[in-house]
Structure 1
């Protein structure tokens, strides 16, 4: 389902253009994942990189992302933007299950969590054994983009191998019959990103043109400098309770790159 390397580069490059920004901002809306600026229950599982607070390898990268987030917070209208705590920043490699689908799954199957953890471990192990080139994957910060309920920093792979490795990991997960039997399926192509924050209250008088200018200026400054590099050295199964807290047990599955 995921697109080719070149198609991905072309699509993400377009997402940060002013014309795309202007269109995206026409449909923004309040995120139900937050109420009065506080995260609400939104449980599930994903395969992600370690969150910033545990990722010593990418601290310089995350500091630059945090600077962008602060610029947005300072320039956007009050109550429009809910910035996420930088400690929770991460790169989602594969969404698995979330919110109502997860609630229904655990209500119907008391063994759901255990089986999911077991099947993800099997997929990770098969993928790890398939790796011939075990170097870390490198992605770059390309720019910021608006989505219907959030503002994100989007990433592009630094080389074809870094993209194909992530796509292959996703295939091992989404084509695992055990996970499919749990109701887990791929629902959309990957758009690699770090979520900076969510939209809160959208005032009727919101100046979307000005917001687009703010995002475009950030993107212009990024392209005038050396693009920050994000190194993917590990993928982990994580459970989340909301869009801030991502946790795991020591025995849960991981994939190591560069080992």
Structure 2
């Protein structure tokens, strides 16, 4: 599941095309992370960049993401997409454990969370001992992508070094024997993105063709003018209670690039 730089670019570029959007809209589902438009518990852990509210270095980027989100919501049927709060926007570096898997793990092993935090710290230390690269890590907004239960802003690395840095850190995480013993594993291909919202109830009368046109037009506009870039300066272990609230303690693992 670890693609080369060019393989990643080719795959992600396909995700923003109108034809892909059209086919993905045929199989969308209501997200269980929200009920009646309100967020519900969905606990777990991820390695992410600091959320928008804690990321002073990327305010211009997140302001642009918010404008895109507003444009989408305004043009689509009310309630079709449940928007995330702009304060919670973030770049996920590595998903770790969530929902039922998380709940089962902490029930079976009272030390699970402590061990998880220790092993992520080990992964970060391993990464730092194996790389001397200190080039800026930048990813640019490529377009809007439809996922089975969400709508996201898709990101592409500005250069090969930016991609390789994230890939190397993910390898240090997912190939950590201590994390594997805790049941942590890579479950799908990495697609860098910012989640904009999750799908609410899907009406039988939903005009999918119209939705696709709206999404494609917004994606096309993103390719005009200067690239919209996020600079990844820090990765943090964060616990989430739901899809809006990501928090951490000061002594939890973090890594600066």
Give the TM-score taking structure 1 as reference length: 0.98
Contact 2:46 2:94 in 1 (8 A): yes
Cα shift at 1:185: 0.5
Contact 1:128 1:256 in 2 (8 A): no
Summarize the alignment of residues 187-206 of structure 1 with structure 2, pairs less than 5 Å apart.
187-206=187-206
Cα shift at 1:133: 1.4
Cα shift at 1:17: 0.4
1:103-135 residue CA offsets vs partner (Å, 9 max, x unmatched) = 000000000000000000010111122221113
1:4 aligns with 2:12: no
1:149-187 residue CA offsets vs partner (Å, 9 max, x unmatched) = 000000000000110110110110001000000000010
Once superposed, what is the RMSD of the aligned Cα atoms?
A: 0.7
Q: Corresponding residue for 1:246?
A: 246
1:15-53 residue CA offsets vs partner (Å, 9 max, x unmatched) = 000000000100011000000111111110000000000
Q: Corresponding residue for 1:146?
A: 146
Contact 1:143 1:155 in 2 (8 A): yes
Contact 2:143 2:153 in 1 (8 A): yes
Q: Corresponding residue for 1:218?
A: 218
| Structure 2 unaligned regions, length at least 5 | none
Contact 1:139 1:229 in 2 (8 A): yes
Q: Corresponding residue for 1:65?
A: 65
Number of paired residues?
257
| Structure 1 unaligned regions, length at least 5 | none
Q: Corresponding residue for 1:127?
A: 127
Contact 1:52 1:58 in 2 (8 A): yes
Cα shift at 1:253: 0.6
Q: Corresponding residue for 1:230?
A: 230
Give the TM-score taking structure 2 as reference length: 0.99
Deviating 4+ runs (over 2 angstroms): none
1:51-87 residue CA offsets vs partner (Å, 9 max, x unmatched) = 0000011000000000000001100001101000000
